[in-house]
Every structure is written in C-alpha cells, then in structure tokens.
Amino acid sequence: MTARGRTEQLAQIFTALSDPTRLRILNLLNGREVCVCYFVEILNEPQPKISRHLAYLRSAGMVATRKEGKWVHYSIAWPEEKDLRKALSAALRALEDDRKMQADLRHLEMACCSPQKFVTLEGAPVPARAVE
C-alpha cells in the first residue's frame, strides 16, 4: 500500500471513530457478529440511523456483513495493514473501561440470554462469536 493510500485509510478510520454511535456499535461488534435489531434495542436509536452508521463503517472498511436468510450479520473487518489494525485495536481497548460501553455490553448479554423479552428482537438470531 502506498503511503498516500495508507494515510487516507488511516484518516478514514479516525473519522469513523469520531462518532459516539459508531464507537458504541464497534464496541458491541468486538469479537462477535450482531444483527441490526440488537443495535436498535441496545442503543435505543431508530433503525435508519443505525443502518446509516453501519453503512458508514462498512464503506470505511471497518465492518463486514454476512447474510443468512433475511438476517444480515455484522462483524468487525480488521484491516490487513498492521498499523491500521493497531489503531482500531487501540480504540477498542480504550472503550473497555467506559461505563456506557460496559452498560451496552451488559444490555447485549441480557438481550442475548432472553431475546423473547424484547419485542424488537422477536425471531432475531442471537449474536455469535465472530469468525476471524
């Protein structure tokens, strides 16, 4: 990768990381696959807003998708470039001690264990560990 291409990709990653909603999404995706309906439930945001943020992360090359029937599973797409991977990894590590991020993960765990308690999750596949 050229220095210019690498610089542009790094700038794109930092721009993607500059939004609190996108950080919350990445935090929830860290190490797992998640469907949109879980983001809607946990982040308490409308589906179109979540979809816009996921589309932004996808265009930045940070999120991958896998379709299974009517469900689209999202996971983190780790950059191949070592320094870009390190930047994303450092951002995710920085979120680990944040109370809001921890609360989101607890909410996800609760939703995964009892999806029937949440109307928005009716019939949704439970998030699974991401295949890297």
Tell me the domain boundaries of the chain: 3-118
Q: What's the pTM?
A: 0.85
What was the pLDDT predicted at 81?
Answer: 87
Summarised one tens digit per residue, pLDDT across range 20-65 is 999 999 999 999 999 888 999 899 999 999 999 999 999 999 999 9
pLDDT of amino acid 3: 61
- pLDDT tens-digit series, residues 81-99: 898 899 999 999 999 999 9
Residue type, 23: L
Residue with tokens 């979809």: 51
- What CATH architecture does domain 3-118 belong to? Orthogonal Bundle (1.10)
pLDDT of res. 117: 59
Is the Cβ–Cβ distance between 71 and 124 less than 8 Å? Answer: yes
